[in-house]
Amino acid sequence: MTVAMPRFAAIEPEALVECATPAEVAEALAYAERSGLEVAVRSGGHCFAGRSSSTGVVIDVTPMHGVALDGDVATVGAGTRLGALYDALEPSTIPAGCGPTVGIAGLALGGGLGILGRAHGLTCDALLGAQVVLAGGRVVECDAEREPELFWALRGAGNGSLGVVTRLRLRTLPAPEISAFELHRPREEAVELIETWQRWAPDAPDGVAVSLLLDDAGVHLIGTATEPCELPWEAELRPASFRDTKRRLAERTGPEIDTWSRSEFFARPLERDTLEALIENLEGELDFTPWGGAYNRVAPDATAFVHRDARFLLKHTATTPGGWLDRSWKLVHPYGTGGVYPNFPDPGLADPDGAYFGANRDRVARARAAYDPEGVFQPLP
Ligand SMILES: Cc1cc2nc3c(=O)[nH]c(=O)nc-3n(C[C@H](O)[C@H](O)[C@H](O)COP(=O)(O)OP(=O)(O)OC[C@H]3O[C@@H](n4cnc5c(N)ncnc54)[C@H](O)[C@@H]3O)c2cc1C
């Protein structure tokens, strides 16, 4: 299956075009234009909102997969999945997510969070340049010098709305020594644990990434560290292999998922009474991801990715849409930054561009107008 979520895999395109070269992408775009069909771009097929599925023309870049390493710079085909990329880069790596079947293109173009992010930033912060097929078929190389405005917009707003990325250049780093821990506690302890987590995790040393999950089974603290650190809980960090740790974290979601989620960034801790209400009403999963560190050391206008002042990201996940999911999201929304991670697109947002791009929204809109004046590519919902 090329699409991770079964409900989007069921959407049948008029034409699914598997492109092996930028010229084939240009041909597929021309075919869509001639036929008056909508275009969707697909790499790993993991979009939460199904933006890489369409009843028109799906341009799938999977055949353009492969990795070439030159010093600390990796040239990566846009069809490469994370698992294959990590294999090819060893003993180097990049800051990115865990799911081995997630596409590097979709992930990097919307940001890219992962266990090395607090120390090394987003995947898009490691992006040095990209090759893009624009609407109309022109193939351009962009980086800090060439088409700098396209390069700026791709880093956070590149998900299917500016052009078809066919190749990425990413700065790599040596895969670090890592230690890991897991702590599972009963739900009754959730308020105390979240209060401690909110104060500690966003300010922990940069090499430390501790997520807090809450579900039916209780509270789960799952963390990794690439530097020594004292945990505020009775838990021990144990040396682990970097790749095994990433594999184990990926197993928590699995490759095929049919869930619905909503999320938001937060710049200050949630109050105790809000936490109590959140936990009392829980009918799904809550996932607190720490922010801060290198994520926030990039200026909000340096790239299209604007969320550089948050302390954490809170994702609510359910097995059905609406209902609890909306109630839980609305309960904490008054305390959020209003910002939403572009890689967790949410069709329920009242003002999507404001949520994804904040103060960068006008510049993102200008980049779209310049590079896709006819609106061939669709913005995130
Ligand atoms: C199981 C699972 C695990 C995840 N883990 C993480 C994680 O650890 N960290 C994290 O940050 N995110 C994670 N995500 C979210 C993930 O970053 C996004 O879903 C991402 O957009 C997926 O990219 P894709 O290429 O796999 O998906 P696709 O559905 O193929 O694409 C996603 C979006 O990018 C666009 N796009 C894809 N390829 C191109 C291209 N070549 N050129 C232009 N636009 C393109 C699509 O049109 C679509 O809008 C996860 C998602 C899932 C389902």
Mean pLDDT lowest among 249-253, 297-301, 316-320: 249-253
Which residue type is seen at 372?
D
- Cα–ligand 1 centroid distance for 108 (angstroms): 8
| 67 vs 315: CA distance, rounded Å | 32
Quote the CA–CA distance of 341 and 179 in Å, as a whole number.
27
Are 39 and 151 in the same domain? Answer: no
Q: Is the pLDDT of residue 1 over 80?
A: no
pLDDT score of 250: 82
Q: What is the pLDDT of residue 253?
A: 62
Q: Are residues 306 and 240 in the same domain?
A: yes
Q: Which two tokens stand for residue 145?
A: 């010098």
Q: What is the atom index within ligand 1 of the atom nearest the CA of 104?
A: 25
Per DSSP, which regions of the chain are E strands?
15-18, 39-42, 57-60, 67-70, 73-77, 92-93, 127-133, 139-143, 164-171, 173-174, 178-185, 208-215, 218-225, 238-240, 260-266, 285-290, 312-318
Q: Are residues 55 and 92 in the same domain?
A: no
Is the residue at 370 inside a domain?
no
Nearest residue CA, atom 41 of ligand 1? 165
Same domain, 52 and 159: no
Into how many domains does the chain fold?
3
366 inside domain: no
Q: What is the pLDDT of residues 9-45, one digit of tens each?
A: 999 999 999 999 999 999 999 999 999 999 999 999 9
Domain boundaries, position 191? 178-357
Identify the band that residue 130 occupies on the pLDDT scale cut at 50, 70 and 90.
Answer: very high
What is the structure's pLDDT at 244?
85
| 42 within ligand 1 shell (Cβ under 6 A) | yes
81 secondary structure, DSSP code:
B
Task: Determine whether the shortest distance from the Cβ of 19 to ligand 1 is under 6 A.
Answer: no
Residue nearest to atom 51 of ligand 1 (CA): 46
- What ligand 1 atom has the least distance to the C-alpha of 165? 42
* Cβ of 249 below 6 Å from ligand 1: no
pTM: 0.97
Last residue of a domain, one of 143, 174, 205: 174
Residue 255 has pLDDT above 60, yes or no: no
Consecutive H or E run containing 331: helix 323-332
Q: Which residues contact 154 (CB under 8 A, 6 or more apart)?
A: 109, 124, 127, 130, 132, 142, 162, 165, 304
Q: How far apart are CA 40 and CA 50, in angstroms?
A: 10
Kindly report the CATH number assigned to the domain that includes residue 123.
3.30.465.10
Q: What is the CATH number of the domain that holds 218?
A: 3.40.462.20
Does 142 lie in the same domain as 97? Answer: yes
Please name which of 310, 300, 302, 379 lies closest in space to residue 118, comparing C-alpha atoms.
310
Taken as a whole, the chain contains a residue count of: 381
3-state helix, strand, coil in the chain (%, to 5): 35, 25, 45
What's the pLDDT tens digit per position in 181-236? 999 999 999 999 999 999 999 999 999 999 999 999 999 999 999 999 999 999 98
User: What's the token pair of residue 69?
Assistant: 């390493």
Residue range 276-304, pLDDT digits in tens: 999 999 999 999 999 999 999 999 999 99
